[in-house]
Chain A
Amino acid sequence: MNCRLMKGNEAAVYGALMGGCTHFFGYPITPASEIAQAAAYYFTASGRTFLQAESEISVINMLYGAASAGARVMTASSGPGIALMGEGLSYLAGARLPAVVIDMQRAGPGLGNIWPEQSDYNMVVKGGGHGNYANITLTPASAQEMFDFTKKAFQIADTYRMTVCILSDAYIGQMMEPVEISGPVLHGQRKEWAVYGDKASRKNLISSIYMSAPLLRKHNEDLQQTYLQVAQDITDYEEISVADAEFVFVAYGIVARICHSVVQALRQQGIKAGLLRPKTVFPFPTAALGAIADRNIPLGVVELSNGQMANDVDLAVKGRVPVFRYLTMGGETPTVRELLTAVKCDLAESKKGGPHG
């Protein structure tokens, strides 16, 4: 077993190279800079392409160009940089180009600070750019998953011709954990739609413009069809102690790790808590949440935002069960003790037939 202690940020670069990525374009930003730094070393040393661009706007357009030419491409940034990429993400979706974009979320709005938040959820999961498009969004919760998810992201991107976002956070990126560098090395295949500058691909056109409204309508409908297929194929989540639970947390990323500890602590006190951890938030684990709601089990969304994912949980359970919200903003994370106290209080209220019951 090849196991190395490394940061989540570094693990992403290892995963990318093992996943067949050949081109990394980047621009520095805390807390994602280690990804560009590790890429600068490993992409260059392995004869792949690393380039530091002049801005995130250029980065996403370099991805657009290299993806047009058939390469497996990626970048990594944090909220302010991802916001600048919004137009380019929309173009990638419109032109149906595969790409991988990592967002190590920091706190906002504006310059905010460099501590973790999960407030890019709407921007990344709901689009961020213009138009009826979506990004496949994976949510790792460990350094190992930063490796695993980044590695598989390129295959998913190629299969559906979509951007795959890795929506992570500052802590998952900065934390070191053992990471198993598991093989085999994957590779992209020649794409029949790409532009290679050769005779076989000469007739190909990469474009997102459809001047005919009926054609653009069809293009949009095709995109939505792809998203439905994606939901069928790759929705992924982990359930921890859900089977016998009387209360279930919903959380992703670093917060899911904290909730895991809270679940253990609650169970030590005789409260049967569980955790549903989405590994994909687009597609969202709607059916799994619905199944829990069918059992009439209250949910608690723990999130480092103003409730952006909690809104999706509400949509999934459609008011059938109480959905408590434990929201923290500004770069702070809730402690296990704080959550323990808050959940016990809410459960007691709920049993008394309180506001949610």
Chain B
Amino acid sequence: MAELIQRFGKAQSFYDGYTRKGIEIETTHYCPGCGHGTIQKLIGEAIDDLGIQDRTIFLSPVGCAVFAYYYYDTGNIQCSHGRAPAVGTGVKRTVKDAVVISYQGDGDLAGIGMTEIIHAANRGEPITVFFINNAIYGMTGGQMAPTTPLGQITQTTPFGRDVARDGRPIGMVELMNALVPPVYIERCSVATSQGIIKTRKAIRKALQAQIDGIGFSFVEILSPCPTNWGMSPVKARSWMEKEMTHHFPLGLVRDTISSSTGKATSIPYPYLDDAQLVELLTGSAAVPLLKDDIPQVTHKVKIAGFGGQGVLSAGELLATCGMTEALHVSWLPSYGPEMRGGSANVSVILSDQEIGSPLVDHPEVLLAFNGPSLDLFEPKMVSGATIVVNSSIIQRQVERTDVNVYYIPATDIAKNEGLLSAANVVMVTAYLLISNALPLETLVRCIPLVLRKKSFLDTNIAIVNKTEAYVKAHPMEKQ
């Protein structure tokens, strides 16, 4: 063995002895006549010649090459079945200078991992994928692969691959070629010496593309599996020439390396240091707690109406007011598909005590923006509760006699100021005035914190003033 190694040489990027293998550390685990040894040696020599041994991170798949880490003296990651392109994405986006090699078989890449390879290719991840196609599942003992030719007998196609049942063998090079981002796509074969020389060139070209930061490259390599094909190594090679190249034509499919200027560069966002990060997160919207003398109150509020009436924003405004007054607050919305269907409601609690349940099953306050909301929540109100009714929209009177009711044409007041969407500000203002829950100055101070469109600030403040005038002119009648 030592003589043979000396005679044919060994890639520097291979370990001297395969100690990770545990036993027989001078031989590989591959069967006689298997193509993996040939291909991995070509890759090892390329790593040497390109001077990338330290930078290389080799991704082992699940399949016969699962033990590639026995051999390569490079960074190694063993991946779950088919997911190496996703793992490679995570690696490459962490260590951009690494040379990431994803080495995958046909079951791994074209079967279980089809999603991952397609999307990694379509993102143009600057990694190199070597796809070893031997038309069969080797490690599990010779079952049908996505690339198994029609008629081929395997352990799971004992009568041959049947097109009606199993479909046709998948051409991965052709699929890759349907995507725009890959910069290099070629199919080679190690069936012949000539093929091995071409494969050697393709491997180097694909790696060089990654070294140059140009983009995603994909080399499919047809490879013999004499053991599972039930052939001698010599016969396996002639079968490859005859059968496999018929299904999987060899050749270069795309090479845009020289015309590529590199992967489309993202808009640069510089890495923020600690102080800048804290500034980004807290920034101008930081809300200081203003006072120590906290009002002794608990308000359990339900705000409800149509989607688009600003129900959730009204709740946010109220909660923000409470927060700046150093109250405990919570805001819990209805959410999900129903939000897109029309009705919306939110539970808001303001309290001088720590808030237990943020759910408001039996509201003490209801801001009813529309009829269905009043119908839904009126029966659930606690006795003595307060209901603010948007009388622009809700035609009926509140039926319960054990609650306080205030009717205000909120939508009309907002519309008169030219901002229909600010009916929510009217409702919150009216509530704060009739309940004396919080000072109006707090509301005015908090509107800019919650308002999405800053250009409407003045109009919103005007609406607060109009509402105040209305409430003064129409005091609430106590029950």
Contact = CB atoms under 8 A, between A and B. Distances in A.
Interface of A: 1-5, 14, 17-18, 22-23, 25, 30-31, 42, 44-49, 51, 53-55, 57-59, 61-71, 73, 87-88, 91, 95, 114-115, 170-171, 174-178, 181, 183-185, 195-199, 201-209, 211-212, 254, 257-264, 333, 335-337
Contacts of B57: 69, 195, 197
A178 B329 contact: yes
B316 A176 contact: yes
Given A61-B86, A183-B278, A69 B285 contact: no
Contact of A5 (B100, B280, B319, B337): B319
Given A69-B57, A197-B95, 12 more contacts: A64-B79, A65-B86, A65-B89, A65-B90, A65-B92, A95-B78, A178-B323, A195-B75, A196-B98, A197-B91, A257-B356, A260-B356
B9 interface: no
Interface in B37-72: 53-57, 60, 66, 69
A144 B269 CA distance: 28
Q: Which among B53, B269, B335, B356 has the greatest number of chain A C-beta atoms within 10 A? A: B356
B330 A175 contact: yes
A205 B91 contact: no
B317 to A, nearest CB: 10
A195 B97 CA distance: 12
B362 A337 contact: yes
A57 B75 contact: no
Q: Which 8 A-B pairs have the closest CB atoms?
A: A65-B90, A197-B98, A261-B356, A260-B356, A47-B271, A66-B90, A61-B86, A65-B87
B116 interface: yes
Interface of B: 20, 22, 53-57, 60, 66, 69, 73-80, 83, 86-95, 97-100, 115-116, 118-119, 269-272, 274, 276-278, 280-282, 285-289, 316, 319-320, 323, 328-333, 335-337, 354-359, 361-362
A30 B336 CA distance: 7
A59 B80 CA distance: 13
27 contacts: A3-B289, A4-B282, A22-B94, A23-B90, A30-B335, A47-B269, A48-B271, A49-B94, A57-B86, A61-B90, A63-B90, A65-B89, A65-B92, A69-B95, A73-B90, A114-B335, A174-B335, A176-B319, A181-B278, A183-B274, A184-B274, A197-B54, A202-B73, A203-B73, A207-B60, A207-B76, A211-B22
A35 B86 CA distance: 21
Contacts of A183: 274, 278
A209 B56 CA distance: 21
State the majority secondary structure of interface residues on A: mixed
B273 to A, nearest CB: 9
Contact of B281 (A64, A181, A337): A181
Given A174-B333, A177-B330, A2 B20 contact: no
A64 B93 contact: no
Given A211-B22, A257-B358, A264-B356, A58 B119 contact: yes
B86 A53 contact: yes
B269 A335 contact: no
A171 B359 CA distance: 9
B86 A62 contact: yes
Contacts of A170: 335
A335 B359 contact: yes
Contacts of B316: 5, 176
Q: Which among B270, B282, B337 has the greatest number of chain A C-beta atoms within 10 A? A: B282
Contact of A62 (B74, B87, B274, B359): B87
B76 A204 contact: yes
A118 to B, nearest CB: 15
